[in-house]
Each structure stands twice: as structure tokens, then as C-alpha cells.
Structure 1
Amino acid sequence: MATGATLVAALALTACGNSGGDTTPTGGGGADGVKVAFIPKIQGIPFFEAMNSGGKDAATEFGFTWVYSGATTADPAAQADVARSLIQQKVDALAVAPNDPDSMAPVLQDAKNAGIVPFTADTDAASSAREFFVSQASTEGIGGALIDQLATAMGDSGEFAIVSCGRTAANLNAWIDVIKSKAAADYPNLKLVDTVYADEDQAKAVTMAKDLMNAHPNLSGLIGPCTTAAPGIAQAVDEAGKTGTVRTVGVGTPQAMLPFLTNGSSSASVLWNVEDHGYLTGWAGWQAAQGIAFPSDGQPFDVGRLKGVTYDAASKVLLLGDPLILTADNAGDYDY
């Protein structure tokens, strides 16, 4: 863990309250009784369950209570209801991966007004009252890796389309912006023909990908920048018998992508260690709830089992590290 951290009075809180309702408290509950809550975009999918697993690990190691609670649909209103419930339960730090940053912003302000440290993880709400954002990898790193991997698979030429998830998801939209700008600058023979949104629904992503292939007979590439669309587009290519003709890359979890990476319907998955991201999220909330600041000199530091974490004080972004490229050779090394 980082040394030399200083106290920040603005973040000092009093630990209180009990979790209940639809929350899942986990961890040792250290002497200070700190409770860190995390609200995913949607509960029950492998990606966020892996973040939950990492958060539990941090809670056990550092001695705080981890509360994981989310809606079963990617609905901004339902997510806001979960947040309000946790505010009423008086958790000490509240992390959210907002489906819609704009609609979550007033709820994060409510948390701050209640003496709770509000922050974001996985997806940012930069214009909100959030104290900081726990980022999995840089926007440029993820978006750039997605288009680089697709360009390599497509031979730097051809038509491609994007099947995203939530239309208002800030992280996905930021990655798509990088994909567009980098494609225009570095791959002039690649042409983006359409971008569609399948919410957090893999079956819907399958259908949309098939529709895109039918609508664009010359389509030779698909990007799925979220963990339900990535396997969805690969499944669509497989079922359509277009493996080797239409290349796919995406942001998919290892076990979900392994069959498609193995059979060639996906060329690569751009991700990060999701469990480590949850671990960092839990640690960050625990630190902030105690009023302990992150090292602000921009130099890499270690957090428990994590090496090379950085914090940018200007943007208030705590960064896990570089993206991970999953292929048929290494996806089986991960159990989520």
C-alpha cells in the first residue's frame, strides 16, 4: 500500500449504520467500521461479479465492510433507487458505475451532502460531485487497442460497425470517440458504417450484429466495446457462418470470450484484470472514508497486491494500469 499519504479533512467521515435490504455486505469490518458500497451498471453479469470478487478480497485484506448492490436491469432510474437506499443506510463511501452520468449526478450530490464519499468506478461522471474516478485503463489505451486489434485482423481495410451497450454510458462513448478518431488518423482504408446500442443484453447484441451484416454485405469487422456485446457479436458471426470473413474484437471477459477466441469468431478481447479493478475500488473507498489522500505526485505506487497504480490529482483519476489483450492463448488463464 502507498506510504506517505496525508489526511484530507474534506473527506473525513464517521462510520455508522447497518447494511440491509438488497445489499450484500462482505469483509472483516475493521476496527474503524468503514463500509464501502459499490453499485454496478447491472448485477449478475460476469464482469461486475468479478469486480465484486475483487472488492471482497480488498475488504478481507484491509479490514472494511464491502457492500455490493445493484439492479438486475441496466436502468438508470433503478440504479438511482439503489444508490438512495445505500445513502439511507449511511455507508461511508459509495462507488457507482453509472448507466447515465447525468441522471446519477444529483444522487452523488445527495451522498456528499449526507457525509458519504461519492466516487465512480468503471464509468465516470466527471461533471458530478464525485470525489474521484477509479479507472480500469486510460480511455486512449482501451479505445486505441480496440481499433488497432480490429485493423490488424481486417488487414487495415474494409467496412466495420460498432455494437455498443448503453447509449449514455460515458466510458463506452469515450472509447468509441477514440476508435473513430484513431481510425480516421491511422487507418484511412477502414470505414465505420454504423453504431448501434444493445443495452447490456447479449441476445440483443447477437440480433443487432446479424442485422448489420445483412444491411451491409461488405461488412468485414465488428467491435463490441462492452462485456455483453463482445461475445454477442462473436456469436452472431459464428451462427451466420462468417467466421474468417467478418472479424470481431471487443471488451469481453475471459471465460465468456474463450470459446469464440478459440474458434476464430473473435480475434481479440481488450480488457484489464477485472478482479484487480474491484480490489482497487474497494481500497480507494476505504482510504477516502478515513480521509486519507492518494499520492499526488503522479508516480506509480503499490496497493496491496497491485503494482504500478497511478493517481492524477488534476483529473482526480486513480488508474489501475494498461489494458490486457486476451487471445486464445491466454484467456484460459483467468477464471471469470
Structure 2
Amino acid sequence: MLRRWVLYVLLLFVFGILVACGDDSETSGDAAGEGTTEEGQEETDGEQNRYAIVFKNTGNPYGEKEMEGFENAINELGAEAILRAPDQPTVEGQIQIIEELIAQQVDAIAIVGNDYDGLQPVLTKAMNQDIKVLSLDSAVNGDSRMVHINQADPEAIGRTQIQAVAEIIDNEGQFAVLSATSQASNQNLWIEWMQTELEEGDYGDMELVEVAYGDDLRDKSVSETEALLQSYPDLKAIVSPTTVGIAAASKVITDKGLQGEVVVTGLGLPSEMAEYINNGVSPWMYLWNPLDVGYLAGYAADALVEGEISGEVGDTFEAGDLGSYEVTESEDGTEVLLGEPFRFDEDNIDEWKEIY
């Protein structure tokens, strides 16, 4: 009996030790959980800034380069880049994306606007939630952003294209403009300067017969080019201030065997236009580096978020490999100007086509 009692006591003692160990284990688990939460909170407090760029639409080679440049800058800054674009170049598509970015509480939004005024309500909403907003390439109105990143002087772009087509067709004949969308602020401003150059310069024997819109979609730009050729049998040139349009128009002219009869100039990507410059359809064209436009926008976004600039005239900031830039006054708000348009022709196109 005594032996059984001693055994019983020993069993109770062992059981008590096991229970105590179990309690210690659960307590340690809770403590570890609290510690993990605190560490996670520390990580959240120190997480990367998130900068978003919203281009006009997907499938646009120029836009892909611009977003790549933006991402390069953001990576250099140690932040997170978010690259977005709607399937079609519509205001509605961009509004939906911006609403999503607001919900995600990104730090900055860089917008390539599909409409000058149509994005104001949603961009104002973003700024009211302390999201820094800037536009690049295709501007939104001054009340919709803090600063605009302009790829080149709009006056120089517009006037240069008229001077180019005039030289190519010897200041004589009909020509048309193939633009992007009718709401694209950058395109419209360049076309205004084209018309100003026509009015002020010595172009009396040249006639601008139509401004057509391919909506920066390749198929529609092809259709618009074909319609121009059919409507104006004496057409001598097409000026297209859009990389999608100039490539589409050049392909149509080439496919129809119209080299030497109709020429194309405007703004194009060297990688897409090398064939048409070399075959004579486009004697020369202009552009800037879209990688640099996006890159400059990335650094400007960071400067806004970090409080280095506020978008006021006279603000300055460093833009990585591009150097120092200053915010200047524009017709509607303020802007940062990348530089002047660059001419691509048969003497340099093979060098540049490998770059972008």
C-alpha cells in the first residue's frame, strides 16, 4: 500500500512538472508573437516609399521606355516603383487606376495624362490625401498637379516640325498631321505651335489639309493614314508628332510603294524608325530620350516627397545622372524642362536604334 502511495505521489509530481513546462512554453510563444509584431511594426515604419507612374495605355513602346526610365530612377533611390497603364488611352481607365493607387496610399503619382482637365477631380483627391502628384510628357492642368516634367520646349517642337517638312517638300504642297488623341495636351500644344509657325513663316505654297487622330493605337493610325492618302491624292507629306503614328504612317507608305511620293516626319523612336529613315520614307525626324523623361520624373517625385521641392518657381533638385534641374514657370503652373529635341537621320540612326 505504501509503495502504491509513493508511486501515486511521484506521478502527481511529474505531471505537475509537465504542466508547468507547458505553461512556460505557451507564455514564451505569446512573448515571441509580441516580439514579432514589434519587429514587423519597425519594418512597416521603415518601409520603402512607393512611387507610381501611370502612362496613357499599354502596348506603347515609347511609354514602356518612359516607365523603364522612371523605374530606373526609383530603384537608384531605394524606393518601390509601381508601373500602371490602362488597356486603352482613356480618361476613365486612368481614373480607375489612380483610385486604386490612392487606396494603396502610395507616396507619389506621376501621370501621363489622357486628358488635360478630365483627371482633375481624382488627382485633387490624391493631393488632398498628401500624395504628391506630378505630370510628365502629356500634362494635366496646373490645378491637378504640383509640377510638370516637360520633355522639350513645346514651341521648339512645333516650329521644328513645320520647318522640317517645309525643307523636305521644298516649301510646296499639301501635308497632313497625324496626331494621337484629340485630348492629348502635349500633342495639341505642339500642333498649335505648328499652326503659328505656318502663319508667321514663309510657307505660302504649303497647305495643311487635315489633322487626323490615330489615338496612339497602331491599327487606327494605319487606318487614318490610309484615309488621308485616299482623301488627298496630291498629299506630299505626313507630320506625326507621336511615335505610334509616325511608325504606322511610315509602314503604310512603305507597303504601298510610295517612297519618293509621300514623305513622313515628326517624332519617332529610333529603333522603330531606322528602317524608314534608311529607305527614304522619313528623311529625318526628332525626339528626346523617353528613358530620360521617365528618369527625371522619378527624381522629381522623390524630391516632392522628401520636401526638397514643392513645385514652386526657383526650386532646384538633383536628378541622378542627369544632373541639376530647376523648376520654371509655364503657361499653366510650373514645369521642369528636360532639353531640346534631337534630330535623327541616316547619318546617326544606326547608332541610336540600338539604344531605344
Tell me what 1:221 maps to. 237
- TM norm structure 2: 0.81
Q: Does 1:278 align with 2:298?
A: no
1:244 aligned to which of 251, 260, 265 = 260
Q: Aligned to 2:134, what secondary structure does the other structure show?
A: strand
Conserved in 2, the CA contact under 8 Å of 1:308 and 1:321? no
Distance between the aligned counterparts of 1:130 and 1:254, measured in 2? Answer: 31
Conserved in 2, the CA contact under 8 Å of 1:30 and 1:65? no
Shift in Å at residue 124 of structure 1?
Answer: 0.8
Conserved in 1, the CA contact under 8 Å of 2:117 and 2:141? no
Q: Does 1:306 align with 2:326?
A: no
Conserved in 2, the CA contact under 8 Å of 1:50 and 1:274? yes
Structure-to-structure mapping, 1:87-166, within 5 angstroms: 87-166=102-181
Query: 1:124 corresponds to which letter in structure 2?
Result: A
Q: Does 1:82 align with 2:102?
A: no
Distance between the aligned counterparts of 1:295 and 1:165, measured in 2? Answer: 28
Structure-to-structure mapping, 1:6-17, within 5 angstroms: none
The worse-fitting range, judged by mean Cα deviation, of 109-118 and 183-192 is 183-192
Query: 1:323 corresponds to which letter in structure 2?
Result: P
Tell me what 2:67 maps to. 52
Conserved in 2, the CA contact under 8 Å of 1:54 and 1:275? yes
Shift in Å at residue 247 of structure 1?
Answer: 1.4
Shift in Å at residue 222 of structure 1?
Answer: 0.5
Q: Does 1:335 align with 2:355?
A: yes
Shift in Å at residue 212 of structure 1?
Answer: 1.1
Shift in Å at residue 272 of structure 1?
Answer: 0.4
Shift in Å at residue 318 of structure 1?
Answer: 0.8
Q: Aligned to 1:150, what secondary structure does the other structure show?
A: helix
Distance between the aligned counterparts of 1:262 and 1:319, measured in 2? Answer: 31
Distance between the aligned counterparts of 2:238 and 2:99, measured in 1? Answer: 38
Tell me what 2:54 maps to. 39
Shift in Å at residue 184 of structure 1?
Answer: 2.0
Tell me what 1:191 maps to. 207
Tell me what 2:344 maps to. 326
1:70 aligned to which of 85, 105, 115 = 85
Query: 2:135 corresponds to which letter in structure 1?
Result: T
Shift in Å at residue 294 of structure 1?
Answer: 7.0
Tell me what 1:202 maps to. 218
2:274 aligned to which of 258, 264, 279 = 258
Alignment RMSD (CA, Å)? 2.2
Query: 2:58 corresponds to which letter in structure 1?
Result: Q
1:80-102, CA deviations, whole angstroms, 9 ceiling, x for partnerless residues?
10111111111111111111122
Provide structure 2 residue ranges, at least 5 long, that are not aligned to the other structure: 1-43
Greater share of residues in helix: 2
Higher relative contact order (CA 8 A, sep 6+): 1
Q: Aligned to 2:243, what secondary structure does the other structure show?
A: coil
Query: 1:326 corresponds to which letter in structure 2?
Result: F
Distance between the aligned counterparts of 1:57 and 1:170, measured in 2? Answer: 26
The worse-fitting range, judged by mean Cα deviation, of 313-322 and 215-224 is 313-322
The worse-fitting range, judged by mean Cα deviation, of 205-214 and 275-284 is 205-214
Query: 2:261 corresponds to which letter in structure 1?
Result: T
Distance between the aligned counterparts of 1:214 and 1:207, measured in 2? Answer: 11
Distance between the aligned counterparts of 1:301 and 1:36, measured in 2? Answer: 17
Conserved in 2, the CA contact under 8 Å of 1:30 and 1:63? no
Distance between the aligned counterparts of 1:83 and 1:307, measured in 2? Answer: 30
Q: Among all aligned residue pairs of Structure 1 and Structure 2, give the percentage whose two residues are the same amino acid.
A: 28
Shift in Å at residue 66 of structure 1?
Answer: 1.3
Distance between the aligned counterparts of 1:298 and 1:151, measured in 2? Answer: 38
Query: 1:306 corresponds to which letter in structure 2?
Result: L
Conserved in 2, the CA contact under 8 Å of 1:210 and 1:240? no
Conserved in 1, the CA contact under 8 Å of 2:142 and 2:334? no
Conserved in 2, the CA contact under 8 Å of 1:294 and 1:311? no
Change (3 A) 1:299 1:261: farther
Shift in Å at residue 227 of structure 1?
Answer: 1.4
The worse-fitting range, judged by mean Cα deviation, of 119-128 and 154-163 is 119-128
1:21-50, CA deviations, whole angstroms, 9 ceiling, x for partnerless residues?
xxxxxxxx9967221110001123110111
1:118-143, CA deviations, whole angstroms, 9 ceiling, x for partnerless residues?
11111111243310001111111211
Tell me what 1:317 maps to. 335
Distance between the aligned counterparts of 1:301 and 1:84, measured in 2? Answer: 29
How many pairs were matched up?
308
Q: Aligned to 2:143, what secondary structure does the other structure show?
A: coil
Conserved in 1, the CA contact under 8 Å of 2:146 and 2:310? no
Structure-to-structure mapping, 1:230-241, within 5 angstroms: 230-241=246-257
Conserved in 1, the CA contact under 8 Å of 2:54 and 2:111? yes
- TM norm structure 1: 0.86
Shift in Å at residue 79 of structure 1?
Answer: 1.2
Provide structure 1 residue ranges, at least 5 long, that are not aligned to the other structure: 1-28
Distance between the aligned counterparts of 2:109 and 2:243, measured in 1? Answer: 23
Distance between the aligned counterparts of 2:129 and 2:317, measured in 1? Answer: 31
Conserved in 2, the CA contact under 8 Å of 1:30 and 1:62? no
